[in-house]
């Protein structure tokens, strides 16, 4: 018997990358508390803290999904890693009312065998009854609905949401096999490619026939692919969150096994070909390394001398012309110095550059180094480098001061940046205006002034999470339900400084 709405204490959680949350909140049942999660890698802990405020009998989760996985900001839950989050999920059980329901609104989360196993285990860990979708979730005009077709246990809360004004779906990004960046039926080439698994499914990614023009040096060609994410196995072998693959056949390098204890967000190779990695880990390569480490490219052992010891997660890494990493993330201390969200590190020791201190007001999640050696950065900040730059800025590579000539101020977050051969950035994010122009989620800017390129007239109906350049310098974008051609997985070509 379903409970009357008035007897249900309900709370709804929204992943930070779900677009137009306001329309979804309007469609919630009366009395439902709404919580927008913050993307900091601690989303499960945020839910636990919110549940302490009352004894709830219903949780609704709105996130992008795919079979057996949901993406809660920077935390991806999937069938492979669910038990690794058992302490956080079991805490929910102690806070919820007996017989509580969890309604998961995300595309295809309960689809296929892996999806059914995922929600079954989620129910076991939380002690709740689970309802989830096995098809497209969202606006009917895009093929979606708000039905939760798969149920474990006895769902007493009446599922459903009145979201007629919501124009999106909650699907994870998909890789199109017939586009420029990823193709089937072509011979593999040997090129060093870095891949981050952003859609939480931990699937193996096979990449072939990639052609790319260098945007910051030359592409390093060898026979390795580094993969980072939240997986615990790949290619049939146990590999915790980072692996090295052979590009010829996709097989896992048997010698390279850093064994990270939490998610790896970013990988970049130094001049010697050794990966510097950032993430939410505190142990990697056999050593305690807080959120950033340099690894031996052969066996994955942590470098004994490089230890910046950040106090929170590292999300983006790029190298200046001298080969020193500039890193961004959620930290406020790194390399022995107070540095808010961005820092330049010594490539050998990891100590922070004393002169470089942009002092961002919030997270930096995208960094690209221009041909002039100066970084263009994007993120959640509204001031950086001593200027009131909103979400995107160009910095001096030596001191970190903001370039006053570059004035691209966006009205929403910038998640990704890619440079063409001339150093002009194409940027993606969750904005509707940038550089004084109305541009939806993607725009090309002048690398010197930040002015919007009038010729580039694309838009996306959802946030753009990743951009790569093809051989002709044309951007290929990936995100959630994009209207752009060329949907791809997140790919970062290795560029030597």
pLDDT digits 0-9 by tens, 451-494: 999 888 777 788 888 887 765 667 767 654 322 222 223 333 33
Q: Does pTM top 0.85 for this prediction?
A: no
Q: Is the pLDDT of residue 43 over 70?
A: yes
Percentage of residues of the chain with pLDDT beyond 90: 53
Whole-number pLDDT of residue 172: 55
| Average predicted confidence (pLDDT) for the chain | 82
pLDDT-based confidence at 435, cuts 50/70/90?
A: very high
Q: Say how far apart CA 155 and CA 104 lie, in whole Å.
A: 12
Which of 52-61, 142-151, 215-224 tops mean pLDDT? Answer: 52-61
**By the 8 A CB rule, do 410 and 425 touch?**
no
The contacts of residue 377 (CB under 8 Å, 6+ apart) are 328, 342, 358, 360, 364, 366, 367, 368, 384, 392, 393, 394, 395, 417
Q: Which CATH architecture has domain 5-152?
A: 3-Layer(aba) Sandwich (3.40)
Nearest 5 degrees, angle CA 21-CA 25-CA 31? Answer: 155
Query: Look-up: residue for tokens 């295809």?
Result: 108
Whole-number pLDDT of residue 160: 65
Q: Show the tokens assigned to 75.
A: 């935390």
Average pLDDT rounded to a whole number, residues 319-328: 94
pLDDT-based confidence at 448, cuts 50/70/90?
A: very high
């Amino acid at each position: 018997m379903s409970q009357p709405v008035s007897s249900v204490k309900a709370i709804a959680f929204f992943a930070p990358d779900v677009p137009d949350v306001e329309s979804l909140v309007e469609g919630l049942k009366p009395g439902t508390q709404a919580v927008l999660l913050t993307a900091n890698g601690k989303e499960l802990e945020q839910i636990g803290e919110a549940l302490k405020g009352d004894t709830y009998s219903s949780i609704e989760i709105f996130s992008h999904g795919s079979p057996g996985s949901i993406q809660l900001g920077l935390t991806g839950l999937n069938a492979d890693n669910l038990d690794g989050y058992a302490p956080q999920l079991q805490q929910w059980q102690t806070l919820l009312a007996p017989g509580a329901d969890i309604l998961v609104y995300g595309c295809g989360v309960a689809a296929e065998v892996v999806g059914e196993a995922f929600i079954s285990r989620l129910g076991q860990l939380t002690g709740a009854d689970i309802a989830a979708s096995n098809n497209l979730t969202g606006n009917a005009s895009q093929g979606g609905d708000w039905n939760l077709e798969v149920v474990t246990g006895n769902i007493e809360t009446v599922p459903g949401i009145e979201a007629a004004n919501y124009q999106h779906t909650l699907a994870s990004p998909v890789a199109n096999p017939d586009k420029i960046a990823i193709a089937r039926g072509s011979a593999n080439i040997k090129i060093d490619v870095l891949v981050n698994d952003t859609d939480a499914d931990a699937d193996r990614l096979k990449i072939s026939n990639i052609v790319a023009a260098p945007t910051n040096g030359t592409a390093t060609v060898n026979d390795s692919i580094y993969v980072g994410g939240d997986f615990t196995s790949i290619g049939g072998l146990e590999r915790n969150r980072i692996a090295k693959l052979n590009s010829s056949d996709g097989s896992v390098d048997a010698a390279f096994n850093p064994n990270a204890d939490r998610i790896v967000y970013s990988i970049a190779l130094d001049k010697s070909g050794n990966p510097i990695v950032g993430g939410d880990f505190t142990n990697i390569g056999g050593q305690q390394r807080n959120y950033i480490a340099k690894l031996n490219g052969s066996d994955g052992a942590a470098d004994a001398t490089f230890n910046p010891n950040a106090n929170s997660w590292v999300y983006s890494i790029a190298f200046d012309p001298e080969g020193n990493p500039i890193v961004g993330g959620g930290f406020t201390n790194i390399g022995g110095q107070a540095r808010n969200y961005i820092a330049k590190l010594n490539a050998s020791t990891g100590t922070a550059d004393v002169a470089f201190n942009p002092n961002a007001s919030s997270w930096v999640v995208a960094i690209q180094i221009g041909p002039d050696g100066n970084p263009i950065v994007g993120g959640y900040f509204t001031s950086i480098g001593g200027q009131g730059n909103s979400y995107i800025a160009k910095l001096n590579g030596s001191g970190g001061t903001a370039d006053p000539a570059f004035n691209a101020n966006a009205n929403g977050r910038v998640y990704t940046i890619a440079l063409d051969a001339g150093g002009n950035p194409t940027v993606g994010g969750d904005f509707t205006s940038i550089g004084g122009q109305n541009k939806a989620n993607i725009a090309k800017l002048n690398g010197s002034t930040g002015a919007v390129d009038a010729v580039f007239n694309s838009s996306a109906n959802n946030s753009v999470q990743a951009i790569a350049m093809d051989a002709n310098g044309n951007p290929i974008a990936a995100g959630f339900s994009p209207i752009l051609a060329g949907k791809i997985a997140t790919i970062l070509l290795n560029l030597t400084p």
